[in-house]
Structures are given as C-alpha cells and as structure tokens.
C-alpha cells in the first residue's frame, strides 16, 4: 500500500488494501497503523467490521433448499439442510480459533454427512451454492468499491 500511495499507483494500493483486509487487525502494529493514516485505517476498520457481519449472516442463513423431483422427504431434507449448514458452514466460518474463508469452508462442508438430504438434492444445492458464490462475490465487490472511493479521496489516480 505504501508504494501505491508513494507513487500514486492505484493498482498497487488496491492490492495492498485487499491484503490488509484479510489480515487480523491485532496483527497490524501501531507503527503501521499510524503509517497508513487516518483515512485508510478508519476505512479498513469499517470494511473489516462489515465483512465480519456479512460472514455471520452467511453462517446463520442457509441458502433456500431447492428439492429435486426425486426427493422423497422434502420436510426432513430441508430440516437437515438447515442443520448441516449451521453445524457445518456456521462452525467453519465462525470458529473463534480458526475461522475459514468461505471457499475453504465450503470445500470442507461438501465432505460432511448430510443426513436426510437426498443425494440429488445435495448435489443440486452444492452446485447452486458454488454457481452463485454470492458471499465471496459480494465481499470482493464491496472491497473494490470502497477501495476505489478511497483511491479517489487520496487522489491516487
């Protein structure tokens, strides 16, 4: 980020900001926070807070179940889908000691037992979740938009 600011290079700044978003705030030393400046550090804190909130929402709200025509127990299937989402994705995304990014959590999630969720329903839902991949897409778009506004504010273009 420093090089992006120093040489008025918005691409370098974007890369640096994107990496900082994935860095725990407590891992950034005070000297580095001061070096970032108030605009960047304040923006970073807000971005991280909003992404954490989005992660909690994704963990708690499973995608709506879409049953296949071969589903024999739609009620049990939907109930187990909600349970496995919370106990699987919820635990993986919100684990206090080792939270996983969405993509890695989803890879682990696919290997779990799905109870009464039929194989066709499971396959369809996993395909559906990967096809839309909304959490990761929204997060990256959000970071890019906020960083774009920060680049304009800092006059790096």
Domain boundaries, position 133? 2-154
Q: Count the Cβ atoms, other than its own, within 10 Å of residue 140.
A: 12
HSE (CB half, 13 Å, CA atoms) of 106?
Answer: 19
User: Region 2-22: what's the mean pLDDT?
Assistant: 84
Number of domains, the chain? 1
Considering all CA atoms of the chain, what is the largest pairwise distance in Å, rounded to the nearest integer?
62
Average pLDDT of the residues of the chain: 89
Angle of helix 102-110 versus helix 134-154 axis, rounded to 10: 170
pLDDT digits (tens, 9 = 90+) for 47-92: 999 998 888 988 998 999 999 999 999 999 999 999 999 999 999 9
Q: How big is the CA angle at 154 (ends 153 and 157), to the nearest 5 degrees?
A: 95
Exposure string (b/e) for 46-65, b if CB count within 10 Å is 16 or more? ebbeebeebbeebbeebeeb
């Amino acid at each position: 980020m420093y090089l992006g600011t120093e040489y008025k290079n918005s691409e370098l700044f974007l890369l640096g900001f994107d990496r900082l978003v994935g860095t725990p705030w407590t891992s950034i030393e005070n000297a580095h926070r001061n070096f970032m400046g108030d605009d960047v550090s304040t923006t970073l804190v807000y971005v991280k807070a909003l992404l954490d909130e989005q992660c909690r929402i994704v963990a708690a709200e499973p995608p709506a179940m879409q049953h296949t025509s071969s589903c024999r127990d739609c009620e049990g299937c939907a109930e187990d889908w909600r349970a496995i989402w919370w106990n699987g994705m919820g635990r993986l995304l919100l684990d206090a000691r080792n939270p996983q990014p969405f993509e890695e959590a989803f890879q682990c999630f696919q290997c779990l037992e799905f109870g009464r969720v039929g194989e066709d329903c499971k396959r369809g839902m996993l395909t559906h979740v990967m096809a839309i991949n909304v959490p990761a897409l929204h997060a990256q778009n959000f970071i890019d938009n906020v960083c774009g506004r920060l680049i304009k504010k800092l006059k790096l273009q």
